[in-house]
Structure 1
Amino acid sequence: MLKRAGQEHGEVVVKKSGGKHQHEEHNSAWKVAFADFCLALMCLFLVLWVLAARDKEEIEMAMAAGAAPNMTYQGQGVRMIGEYQPGSLIPKNPVRPQAQEETGGQPRVQKLLDSPEELAQLSRRVREVGEQVGLGDHIVTAVTAEGLRITVHDTEQSGMFKLGSAEPTAEFVRLLRRIGPMFREIDNQLVIAGHTDALPYSSHSAFAASNWSLSMQRALAARGHMMLGGMPERSVLQVIGMAEVAPADPEQPQAAINRRVELLVTTKAHAQNVHQTFGRLPVSEPLTPGLQSSPADTPMLELLRKVLLQPLQGEAQAKP
């Protein structure tokens, strides 16, 4: 033992190692730590991948619904608009029509349903799908002069959309995606109309959220999910929002049955009328000198027009 210099007490102990631990840094302990690090990193990437896949699905649903803001009820008797946080953009890649893929590039032969019997058969198919997805009590169908009218309405127990929003419930999504492929088989065009109850929004600004915007967004959501189910885009003739102006139960304007989405499978004649109403304006033709008139749209008016024009045409031919 050595004594420390300048001190009377205390001893310095020098321990010499035998050198048997000089290679401990070369053992396999670091491999266990590295394996734990790799496992944690893999779990992190897996979680990020799941979150990205979920966000993409939510974005697709939002885009299919017209990118509508999330509207919610708040308080008694009024609606409030909530927050909406858009996600990342979905790449726009060209998609080949599904109907051509299944037929080897050849267009599918479609049938035009125009008789009441054919429309009634389609009605039964829709009601069968409604029973299968648990919405049989929500569906009302009727064959009219304009076509097959399919109404999917709320009940006091459940609704087609989340309260005050344009986000459909899971049952309604299943219904829409299962009846969408039916329109690949027929050549009829579809009018989609959204309806709300009479419960107003708290804001009355001209550009604020209202029952008009809510009903339109719900109709667009129905269109989007039917297209995701396989309905061709050209099958849609018109998408409209009716707000609360056409209640199913006028005596109770805030009743659940007034909140509904209607699908009108149009006949050929009604579809042509819609095209003419909102299409190109008719060319004006002179009825008499100095007087302009649009062409007649009915046989009676056309006959009257010919009778009135006959004397003028005779005078014109008699002139040298």
Structure 2
Amino acid sequence: MKNNPQHVIVIRRSKAQKAGHHGGSWKIAYADFMTAMMAFFLVMWLLSNSTPLQRQQIAEYFKSPLQVALAGGDKASLSDSVIPGGGPDPLKHEGEINKANRGKKTRDTGMKKLAKARDRLENLIKMDPRLSHFQSNLRLSLTEDGLLIQIIDSQERPMFKVGSKVLEPYLNDILHALVPVLNALPNHISLTGHTDSLPYATGDLGYSNWELSADRANALRRALISNGMAGDKFLRVIGTADTMSVENTQADNPINRRISILVLSQRKEQAILREDTLLQHLPEALSGENLPSQLHMTPVTSAQQHAQPVQQSETGMK
């Protein structure tokens, strides 16, 4: 038995191990989830506080952000132009950006010409003997609508006969001096007649300040044409009666009896033409017998047209 080798028995006992640590990977997943939720709620908030046009522009940007960036436009399809934005060339010689710049330069050039015309008229009023005596009756101002020339009355020197559309002789001299400067400008002209608030005895039912203001504006138009102005320079001739008094004056002040000659800026002229275009395209349902009764024109009798104005005022001045 001594010759028999002894076998060594090795007993291995394994200890129970706890679950291993997962590390920080769960934190990354959680952070991604929270970021996605924050982005989702931000998008929902933007959608609830934006207009349909803004949402369309945002969607268009995410569809083709590179195309919009290269074109320099608001979005790829926000135009009727064949070449939107700045066009295909880096220098932007084509496309809407250059077109907008050209339009702005044209408007600026037009306003500079009107400013030069104002300066020329101011010098003319001081130097020309036909105008120097009427400096208090002539007012010049450059506005966004254009160059405004106002010919105003005074108690001592009215521009028209009392309550009439007949021009005083010296008003013709003033117009004769103004016409060459106005003819040198390509701009159209708007004429507006104004009166004071002194009423006619017949009131608004007969010949009133409305007719007087319009008649005086048309009388001035004819006088300008007779002094050499082209007839196609006029874009509109209107009368406003006493509805537009000079600021900080009483409605019956003689200064409110005036004629406004507005040399229209390009922007104002386009606005007037657009307004006229809209009126021309009114639905046919509003024409003829379908018009509301208050829009039908009331015929004016010949007696009303030739009625002599009778003033109801202490001074008799209109």
Give the one of 206, 211, 214 matched to 1:213: 211
Structure-2 change in CA distance of 1:113 and 1:130 (3 Å): farther
Match of 1:168 in 2: 167
Aligned with 1:157: secondary structure? Answer: coil
- Name the residue aligned to 2:155: 156
Aligned to 1:182: 181
SS class of match (1:213): helix
Deviation at 1:220, TM superposition (A): 0.7
Q: 1:112 Cα shift? A: 9.2
Give the whole-Å Cα distance in 1 for the aligned partners of 2:123 and 2:164.
Answer: 27
Contact 2:179 2:224 in 1 (8 A): yes
SS of aligned partner of 1:238: strand
The alignment status of 1:118 with 2:117, answered yes or no, reads: no
Counterpart Cα distance in 1 of 2:241 and 2:114: 27
- Residue 126 of structure 1 deviates from its aligned partner by 2.8
Alignment partners' CA distance in 1, 2:164 and 2:228 = 24
Q: Structure 1 204/281 Cα, relative in aligned 2: closer, same or farther at 3 Å? A: closer
**SS of equivalent residue, structure 1 residue 198:** coil
Aligned to 2:220: 222
Instruction: Summarize the Cα distance change of 1:251–1:143 in structure 2 as closer, same or farther, 3 Å threshold.
Output: closer
**Per-residue deviation, residues 237-278 of structure 1 (Å, max 9, x unmatched):** 110001000001454111111000001111111101101102
More strand by share: 1
Q: How does 1:32-47 map to 2 (within 5 A)?
A: none
SS of equivalent to 1:230:
coil
1:165 is paired with a residue whose SS is coil
Identify the structure with the greater helix proportion: 2
Counterpart contact for 2:189–2:233, Cα < 8 Å? yes
Match in the other structure for 1:289 = none
Which residue, out of 236, 239, 257, partners 1:238?
Answer: 236
Alignment of 1:1-150 (within 5 A): 114-131=109-126, 132=128, 133=130, 134-150=133-149
Long gaps (5+) in structure 2: 1-105, 283-318
1:279 is paired with a residue whose SS is: helix
Matching residue's letter, 1:191: S
Secondary structure of residue in 2 paired with 1:188: coil
Q: Tell me the amino acid that sits aligned with residue 195 of structure 1.
A: H
Identity %: 28
Quick one: which amino acid aligns to residue 174 of structure 1?
D
Aligned-pair Cα RMSD in Å: 2.5
The aligned counterpart of 1:201 is 200
- Rounded to whole Å, the distance in 1 between the matches of 2:178 and 2:108 is 16
Could you report, residue by residue, the CA deviation over 1:6-51 in whole angstroms, capped at 9, with x for unpaired residues? xxxxxxxxxxxxxxxxxxxxxxxxxxxxxxxxxxxxxxxxxxxxxx
Cα deviation 1:179-219 (Å, max 9, x = unaligned): 2233332210000000000000000253x211011111110
Q: TM-score, normalised by structure 2?
A: 0.50
Kindly tell me: are residues 112 and 128 of structure 1, through their superposed partners in 2, closer, same or farther at Cα, counting changes over 3 Å? Answer: farther
2:314 alignment partner in structure 1: none
Alignment-derived partner of residue 247 in structure 1: 245
Match of 1:274 in 2: 272
Alpha-carbon distance between aligned partners in 2 of 1:225 and 1:172, rounded to the nearest angstrom:
9
Q: 1:218 to 1:238 in 2, by over 3 A?
A: same
Change over 3 Å in CA distance of 1:282–1:212 after alignment to 2: closer
Secondary structure at the counterpart of residue 203 of structure 2: coil
